[in-house]
Amino acid sequence: MAKKEETISMVDTFSEFKELKNIDRTTMISVLEESFRNVLSKMFGTDENFDVIVNPDKGDFEIWRNREVVADEDVTDTNLQISLSEAKKIDEDYEIGEEVTDEVFFEKFGRRAILNLRQTLASKILELQKDSIYNKYKDKIGQIISAEVYQIWKKEMLLLDDEGNELLLPKTEQIPTDFYRKGETVRAVVARVDNKNNNPKIIISRTSPVFLQRLFELEVPEIHDGLILIRKIARIPGERAKVAVESYDDRIDPVGACVGVKGSRIHGIVRELRNENIDVINYTNNISLFIQRALSPAKISSIRLNEEEHKAEVFLKPEEVSLAIGKGGLNIKLACMLTEYTIDVYRDIDEGEEEDIYLDEFKDEIDGWVIEALKAIGCATAKSVLATPRDVLIEKADLEESTVDEVINILKAEFEE
């Protein structure tokens, strides 16, 4: 009786295990039945003549064996056959050729069978658990999750989600100024799920650009609703980031919507990222203008592009150069990452000549749309226009020859006076 109780309590244990490990009822019944059949097959050479009924609600099971009634002297396999005299002990009406179904009590198979069953079950449950974790987190790649710090090591942190699954946050995926204690909650994005040798390893990240994108989606309803699209992100985690956004609705200012009133929307993101400075700029397909915006807050004088080699030479007034480069070179580094162009900055010094004049000063003589077209190709000043070949102005700014000639004459006249 003790052995039977031991076996049944084992089923109870795995029934509880099912609840803890989020394994569904149907799968658990299937695993239990398969495990019993595995043991029966090892003991008798086959399990085909057994019916296994698992009752998870009651926490018990039944095993029934089907055998053919044969003459006493014809019994060759006691697992598949039962002698007529034995069958008649069960019921006097049995005759040769009929089938006898009687209940088999697993505890009578001995301790070794019970241990075998335990091991088989434990192995299958572990395999199911690993598959469940892998499939769950494979579908969560790129999503933000929250987890509790369980253990901190030099090169990584071990965290537990609300189901007790283990997650890893490597040092390389932590913001340099991150500091956590055991028991604290961490927010991060699921970066990848490795499954080497069916041993799932979930890697999460706080330095990924995707983490910043998901935070914007949480804070800015227009992004979540698809009215504003994040086109590019460049990050130096914990230091600074640049985000290029675009609106599909002309009535929505994408930069303003992302920043919020008095920075209300972006403040929470900055705080989550350990005071990482975030520049939000308008995206454009015009690469010259995009580079100008990416170098903000610096104002550039002119720009020369080499689209084949993805290189740009940017000319700025001396006082703008330091703004373009930024503290520790962060601004220009992020601009290169965002635009995917190698940007070289040059001081725009005119030796022995008068100071340059911004094109906006010529609004009385040159149409505003012409000025905007020239600024869009990086020509924001009179001298930057005059320094750009005539055919480049015509092609890149998409202006008529007569318009370009008129602009050049007006600008030349200003410096000849």
Q: DSSP letter string over 56-80?
A: TTTTEEEEEEEEEEE-GGG---TTT
| CATH, residue 105 | 3.30.1480
- Asked whether the beta carbons of 255 and 246 are under 8 A apart, the reply is no
Are 49 and 69 in a shared domain? yes
Return the higher-pLDDT residue of 355 and 84. Answer: 84
pLDDT digit string (tens) for 42-66? 888 899 999 988 876 666 788 899 9
Does 165 map to a domain? Answer: yes
135, 152, 186: which is the final residue of a domain? Answer: 135
- Asked whether the beta carbons of 186 and 170 are under 8 A apart, the reply is no
Of 234, 232, 235, give the one whose Cα is nearest residue 246. 232
Q: What pLDDT was estimated at residue 22?
A: 60
Of 38, 72, 42, give the one whose Cα is nearest residue 52. 38
Q: What pLDDT was estimated at residue 20?
A: 47
For residue 230, CA distances in Å to 153, 204, 234, 275, 376 come to: 35, 22, 11, 21, 21
Does 74 map to a domain? Answer: yes
Are 131 and 144 in a shared domain? no
pLDDT digit string (tens) for 332-341? 999 999 999 9
Are 11 and 100 in a shared domain? yes
Are 177 and 193 in a shared domain? yes
Kindly state the percentage of the chain with pLDDT values over 70.
91
pLDDT digit string (tens) for 122-136? 888 788 888 888 989
- Confidence check: pLDDT of 115 > 70: yes
Q: What pLDDT was estimated at residue 90?
A: 87
pLDDT digit string (tens) for 278-325? 999 999 999 999 999 999 999 998 899 999 999 999 988 878 878 888
Does 322 map to a domain? Answer: no
Are 123 and 165 in a shared domain? no
Are 16 and 131 in a shared domain? yes
- Confidence check: pLDDT of 107 > 70: yes
Are 47 and 29 in a shared domain? yes
Kindly write down the DSSP assignment for every residue of 11-41, as one continuous string. Answer: HHHHHHHHHHTT--HHHHHHHHHHHHHHHHH
Are 88 and 194 in a shared domain? no
For residue 403, CA distances in Å to 148, 366, 408 come to: 65, 9, 9
- Confidence check: pLDDT of 7 > 70: no
Using pLDDT thresholds of 50, 70 and 90, give the confidence band for residue 408: very high
Query: Residue 2: enclosing H or E segment and its boundaries?
Result: helix 2-20
Measured in degrees and rounded to the nearest 5, phi and psi for residue 141 equal: -60, 130
Q: What pLDDT was estimated at residue 19?
A: 52
Cis peptide before 297 (omega within 30 of 0): yes
Are 76 and 24 in a shared domain? yes
- Asked whether the beta carbons of 292 and 283 are under 8 A apart, the reply is no
For residue 359, CA distances in Å to 201, 317, 417 come to: 58, 15, 17
Does 69 map to a domain? Answer: yes
Q: Looking at residues 2-12, what average pLDDT do you find? A: 48
120, 135, 150: which is the final residue of a domain? Answer: 135
Does 325 map to a domain? Answer: no
Q: Looking at residues 173-186, what average pLDDT do you find? A: 96
Q: What average pLDDT does the structure give for the chain? A: 87
- Buried-exposed string 243-259: b where 16+ CB fall within 10 A, e elsewhere: bbbebeeeeeebbebbb
CA–CA separation, 320 vs 269, rounded Å? 29
- Buried-exposed string 272-286: b where 16+ CB fall within 10 A, e elsewhere: bbbebbbbbbebbee
Q: Looking at residues 18-35, what average pLDDT do you find? A: 71
CA dihedral sign of residues 289, 366, 299, 304: positive
Does 250 map to a domain? Answer: no
Using pLDDT thresholds of 50, 70 and 90, give the confidence band for residue 8: very low
- Asked whether the beta carbons of 294 and 331 are under 8 A apart, the reply is no
Q: What pLDDT was estimated at residue 352?
A: 46
Q: What pLDDT was estimated at residue 281?
A: 96
Q: Residue 245: which residues within 8 A CB-CB, separation 6 or more?
A: 223, 228, 229, 230, 231, 254, 255, 258, 280, 281, 282, 283
Domain count, the chain: 3
Using pLDDT thresholds of 50, 70 and 90, give the confidence band for residue 23: low
Are 90 and 196 in a shared domain? no
Q: What pLDDT was estimated at residue 1?
A: 43
Q: What pLDDT was estimated at residue 203?
A: 97
pTM to 2 decimals?
Answer: 0.66
Q: What pLDDT was estimated at residue 28?
A: 77
Domain range holding 382? 359-416
Are 14 and 96 in a shared domain? yes
CA–CA separation, 385 vs 301, rounded Å? 10
184, 207, 230: which is the final residue of a domain? Answer: 207
CA 147 to chain CA centroid, nearest Å: 15
- Confidence check: pLDDT of 403 > 80: yes
| CATH, residue 158 | 2.40.50.140
Does 292 map to a domain? Answer: no
- Confidence check: pLDDT of 219 > 90: yes
Q: What pLDDT was estimated at residue 201?
A: 94
CA–CA separation, 20 vs 365, rounded Å? 77
Does 220 map to a domain? Answer: no
Are 97 and 131 in a shared domain? yes
Tokens of 7: 């076996």
